[in-house]
Amino acid sequence: MAVLSSFIFLLLEIIIEVSASYSVSGLYRGVWYQPVEHHALLGQSFMNIPGISAVRCSVRCLSHHGCFSFNYDHINQVCQMNTASAEHVCHNLQGMPHFSYYDATAKPMTCQINVLGNVKCAPLKVCVGFEKLGLEDGSIPDESLSASSNYNGLRMSTPAGGRLNKLPPDDNTIGAWHAEVKDTNQWIQVDLGNPTYVIGVLTQGRYGNPYAPQWVTKYKVQFEPPSPACLLDMKDQLGQTQIFNGNTDEHSVVERRFFKPVLAVKIRIVPVEWKVSICLRFELLGCK
């Protein structure tokens, strides 16, 4: 029995190594790992294993009862196994260039191995293209949108006004999401409900104010992965927080793509520069 177990474990390592892609997918114990790029969980490592791949690191972590997550150093090829998950110590998840953080998330077993070592796998969903995720067409409901503040003067603003190409329903409503406060702590957020791959953002300025055109010129993007429940800054290829160039007028739609797709349950747009006031309409690009 011990020989059979060792054989199956070795087979799992081989299968995972061959099938690995952007995310590290484990079959052992029906668990998979989703990376948070350019981040590491600090102060929780109990074992460093040099000279192995991230895939084999995932197998080691899954087979160790004390491992709840791991960091992987891509430069030095070091696996750092952690005694905790960022789900419980979210503040310890810090930006670290050349690192990836992997958090174990329970998922249904997609592959089964019988006693003869034969593997039967259910087909996995593959994104063959990206599309608008539903802000413009309303398939994402109003209650999934929220904001740090909303202007409430002669005209009113709501997060729902921040949908791409949204026109004001009446003369009392602003044709965009309009923040009440003019500072870099303002944001508008979408709750996607289910984990969704997001690849980019479409932005637009405020509709219907020709005497004082308003739009966001620069912004950053934050996302919440399925686990941990932390808002993380979108990073560029160097692991730095990316600042995206926004609009130059109130009507044109500007598309910006992320360095890599992210698996997210929430996306937050944080304006950092604007013309006159913080006014924004937007849409997300991703895989439904």
**Domain count of the chain?**
2
The C-alpha angle with vertex 183 and arms to 182 and 188, in degrees rounded to 5, equals: 85
Whether 278 and 142 map to the same domain: the answer is yes
> Are 274 and 149 members of one domain?
yes
- Is residue 171 located within the same domain as residue 115? no
pLDDT of residue 54: 87
Are residues 102 and 175 part of one domain? no
User: Helix (H, G, I), strand (E, B), or coil: what is residue 92?
Assistant: helix
pLDDT at position 15 is 42
Q: Which amino acid would we find at residue 221?
A: V
Of 121, 141, 172, the last residue of a domain is: 121
Residue 63, pLDDT score:
81
Task: Specify the pLDDT at position 127.
Answer: 58
pLDDT tens, the chain, 288 aa long: 554 444 444 444 444 443 333 344 433 344 456 688 888 999 999 999 999 988 888 888 888 888 888 999 999 999 999 998 887 778 888 888 889 988 865 343 344 445 444 444 444 444 556 899 999 999 999 999 999 999 998 889 999 999 999 999 888 899 999 999 999 999 999 999 998 989 999 999 999 888 899 999 999 999 998 877 789 999 888 888 999 999 999 999 999 999 888 889 999 999 999 999 999 999 999 987
Structure tokens at 153: 């003067």
DSSP lists the bridge partners of residue 248 as none
Pick the last residue of a domain from 78, 95, 121: 121
Q: Whole-angstrom Cα distance, residue 181 to residue 188?
A: 13
Last residue of some domain: 121, 156, 172?
121
236, 267 Cβ separation under 8 angstroms: no
Strand pairing report for 279-287 and 111-113: unpaired
Question: Same domain for 243 and 168?
Answer: yes
pLDDT for position 21: 35
Q: For the chain, give the number of residues.
A: 288
DSSP code of 123? P
Q: Is residue 280 part of a domain?
A: yes
Domain that holds residue 139: 131-287
Whose CA is closest to 253, among 285, 288, 210?
285
C-alpha atoms less than 13 angstroms from C-alpha of 219 in its C-beta half-sphere: 35
- pTM, two decimals, is 0.69
Q: Are residues 258 and 161 in the same domain?
A: yes
- What is the structure's pLDDT at 146? 97
| pLDDT of amino acid 258 | 93
